[in-house]
């Protein structure tokens, strides 16, 4: 079985963790997240407002996670981390680079904004998911623009696990 480590446990990280334990195709051994609040992550893994309760056990113990009896090492090193944009853009960028070559690029993200969402990054507070800066969208006119998106986070999280198991 392929051993994996996740970098960041934001929204997609939660879904990949859930998918990895549900599928049993990969062995999650470590998580790196410099913004990690153990109690918050346990709560988010156990209770997802969209996908419901996790069918298993999750707890924080001695600065490690224990999911379904499996201990996962936690690192809190500062890193760039993956994001929805990186995950969505990676495949498209690879295809374009392999076929045409990329010398330089600019990546931007467009998110919907809720009425209470902050307009700058602010990783603290009770509603951490509201801390992303959705209004930061600068698109210059002297670039070739490629657009891609995904709107099925659950399906994407499962395909990430399938890809890791395959490679």
Active centre residues (catalytic): 84
Q: What angle do CA 26, 17, 131 make, to 5 degrees?
A: 150
Going by C-beta distance under 8 Å and a sequence separation of 6 or more, which residues neighbour residue 90? none
Please state at what angle helix 11-23 crosses helix 84-100, rounded to 10 degrees. Answer: 80
Q: What does the DSSP 8-state code read for residue 69?
A: T
């Amino acid at each position: 079985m392929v051993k994996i480590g996740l970098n960041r446990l934001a929204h997609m990280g939660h879904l990949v963790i859930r998918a990895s334990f549900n599928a049993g195709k990969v062995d999650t051994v470590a998580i790196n997240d410099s913004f990690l609040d153990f109690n918050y992550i346990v709560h988010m893994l156990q209770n997802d407002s969209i996908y419901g309760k996790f069918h298993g056990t999750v707890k924080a113990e001695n600065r490690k996670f224990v999911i379904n009896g499996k201990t996962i090492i936690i690192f809190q090193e500062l890193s760039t981390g993956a994001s929805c944009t990186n995950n969505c853009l990676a495949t498209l960028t690879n295809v374009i680079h392999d076929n045409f070559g990329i010398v330089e690029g600019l990546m931007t993200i467009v998110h919907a904004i809720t009425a209470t969402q902050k307009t700058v990054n602010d990783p603290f507070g009770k509603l951490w998911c509201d801390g992303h800066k959705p209004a930061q969208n600068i698109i210059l006119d002297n670039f070739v623009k490629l657009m891609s998106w995904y709107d099925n986070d659950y399906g994407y999280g499962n395909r990430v696990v399938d890809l890791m198991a395959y490679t």
